């Protein structure tokens, strides 16, 4: 890698492979990027918005790690691990931006390892129980579809950091969705048993989807300023994508998304998040001054 400049280093080290986690190798996650706040943007709002996007990625990545050594095939373990690394790379940059924007100077490690559950701002679906492989497929399908729709718009953000992260992330998220679609079709239109398991997974996941399109006041303000994206704006687009995939997989056409309600964005989480964070933060808590 020729340096720690984010724009050149995002894919250079790995020959432009858009599926590689782009957080790898940086001494300073935001080195070389113009971190000046856009005119009229409140730093605290921008920081909280970056936490929302970063926490979704960080928590989902930790949940996906549970499939390493436990996926149906070795190839799927590698694929899911690489998806988790992609999300971890996105989380690193977003959380670093949060610490810069709010003026505290906290790095991504401080956000990842030194916050309790009530300080996290991820949606409930990211922390939901792992379930079986069918549920993992449906969860990834829903989350990647929604995140891709948001990040495609976020690439035009007035904030240079968000725009840079989104421009790279859309390629990764497109692969994440492609991977989930391939398995949804394979299982949904497979054997009667795999079809049954996929139908059950959709039923389990669907009640958690409404929150993905609930607008937090900070998201509304960021969208109005041309910095962020109102998740409600992508609701119909995402539903159309999921409907096409699920019906092609011979599953029932999905019902409308449940009524949106903000929960995780306000720090209200399920009982699943605390043990997930215990796993994530264990080493950092036991060795708070360690470096490697």
Which range among 16-30, 53-67, 116-130, 140-154 shows the weakest confidence by mean pLDDT? 16-30
Mean pLDDT of 7-12: 41
Q: What span, in angstroms and rounded, lies between the C-alpha atoms of 212 and 124?
A: 9
What is the predicted pLDDT for the residue at 20? 36
Q: Could you tell me the pLDDT band of residue 21, with boundaries at 50, 70 and 90?
A: very low
Three-class secondary structure of residue 27 per DSSP: coil
CB 187 within 8 A of CB 195: yes
Which range among 27-41, 154-168, 234-248, 277-291 shows the weakest confidence by mean pLDDT? 27-41
Cα–Cα–Cα angle for 23, 161, 14, nearest 5°?
30
CA 5 to chain centre: 23
What is the predicted pLDDT for the residue at 10? 38
Q: What span, in angstroms and rounded, lies between the C-alpha atoms of 214 and 263?
A: 9
Which range among 8-12, 229-233, 267-271 shows the weakest confidence by mean pLDDT? 8-12
What is the predicted pLDDT for the residue at 27? 55
Q: What span, in angstroms and rounded, lies between the C-alpha atoms of 96 and 35?
A: 11
Residue 170 has pLDDT above 80, yes or no: yes
pLDDT tens profile 72-101: 888 899 999 999 999 999 999 999 999 999
Other CB atoms closer than 10 Å to residue 269's CB: what's the count? 22
Q: What span, in angstroms and rounded, lies between the C-alpha atoms of 274 and 255?
A: 31
What is the predicted pLDDT for the residue at 22? 39
What is the predicted pLDDT for the residue at 1? 35
Q: What span, in angstroms and rounded, lies between the C-alpha atoms of 97 and 51?
A: 9
**Of the candidates 92, 78, 115, the residue with the CA atom closest to the CA atom of residue 29:** 92
Report the chain's mean pLDDT, rounded to a whole number: 89
**In the 8-state DSSP scheme, what is residue 184?**
H
Within 13 A of 229's CA, how many CA atoms are on the CB side? 24
Dihedral sign from CA coordinates of 183, 188, 192, 193: positive
Q: What span, in angstroms and rounded, lies between the C-alpha atoms of 274 and 261?
A: 21
Distances (CA, A) of 63 to 91, 119, 206, 220, 281: 14, 18, 18, 28, 13
**Of the candidates 2, 3, 14, 1, the residue with the CA atom closest to the CA atom of residue 168:** 14
What is the predicted pLDDT for the residue at 262? 94
Q: Which residues have CB under 8 Å from 46's CB, separation 6+?
A: 37, 97, 98, 101, 102, 159, 222, 227
pLDDT tens profile 270-283: 999 999 999 999 88
Q: Could you tell me the pLDDT band of residue 34, with boundaries at 50, 70 and 90?
A: confident
Taking each helix axis as running N to C, give the angle between helix 160-188 and helix 74-101, from 0 to 180 degrees, rounded to the nearest 10.
160
pLDDT tens profile 180-214: 999 999 999 999 999 999 999 999 999 999 999 99
What is the predicted pLDDT for the residue at 30? 65
pLDDT tens profile 98-156: 999 999 999 999 999 999 999 999 999 999 999 999 999 999 999 999 999 999 999 99
What is the predicted pLDDT for the residue at 71? 81
Q: Which residues have CB under 8 Å from 212's CB, separation 6+?
A: 123, 125, 142, 143, 146, 231, 238, 257, 260
What is the predicted pLDDT for the residue at 29? 59
pLDDT above 70 as % of the chain: 88
Mean pLDDT of 288-292: 68
Please identify which residue in the block is written with the tokens 């250079």: 12
CB 46 within 8 A of CB 227: yes
Architecture of domain 38-286: Up-down Bundle (1.20)
Retrieve residue 279's tokens. 């796993």
pLDDT tens profile 156-169: 999 999 999 999 99
According to DSSP H, which parts of 118-272 are helical? 124-127, 133-154, 160-188, 192-205, 217-224, 235-248
Residue 14 has pLDDT above 90, yes or no: no
What is the predicted pLDDT for the residue at 284? 84
């Amino acid at each position: 890698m020729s340096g720690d400049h984010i724009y050149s280093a995002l894919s250079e080290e790995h020959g432009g492979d858009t599926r590689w986690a782009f957080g790898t190798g940086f001494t300073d996650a935001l080195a070389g990027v113009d971190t000046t706040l856009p005119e009229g943007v409140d730093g605290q709002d921008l920081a909280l918005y970056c936490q929302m996007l970063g926490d979704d990625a960080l928590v989902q990545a930790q949940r996906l790690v549970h499939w390493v050594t436990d996926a149906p095939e070795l190839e799927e373990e590698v694929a899911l691990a690489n998806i988790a690394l992609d999300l971890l790379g996105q989380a690193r940059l977003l959380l670093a931006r949060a610490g810069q924007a709010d003026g505290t100077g906290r790095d991504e490690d401080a956000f990842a390892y030194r916050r309790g559950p009530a300080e996290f701002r991820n949606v409930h679906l990211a922390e939901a129980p792992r379930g079986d492989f069918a549920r993992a497929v449906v969860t990834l399908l829903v989350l990647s579809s929604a995140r891709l729709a948001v990040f495609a718009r976020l690439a035009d953000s007035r904030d240079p950091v968000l725009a840079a992260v989104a421009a790279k992330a859309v390629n990764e998220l497109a692969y994440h969705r492609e991977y989930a679609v391939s398995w949804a079709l394979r299982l949904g239109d497979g054997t009667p048993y795999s079809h049954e398991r996929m139908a059950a997974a959709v039923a389990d996941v669907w009640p958690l989807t409404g929150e993905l399109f609930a607008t937090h006041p900070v998201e509304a303000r960021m969208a109005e300023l041309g910095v962020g994206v109102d998740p409600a704006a992508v609701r119909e687009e995402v539903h159309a994508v999921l409907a096409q995939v699920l019906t092609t997989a011979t599953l029932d056409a999905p019902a409308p998304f449940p009524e949106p309600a903000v929960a995780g964005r306000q720090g209200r989480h399920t009982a699943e998040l605390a043990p997930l964070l215990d796993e994530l933060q264990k080493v950092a808590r036991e060795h708070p001054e360690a470096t490697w």
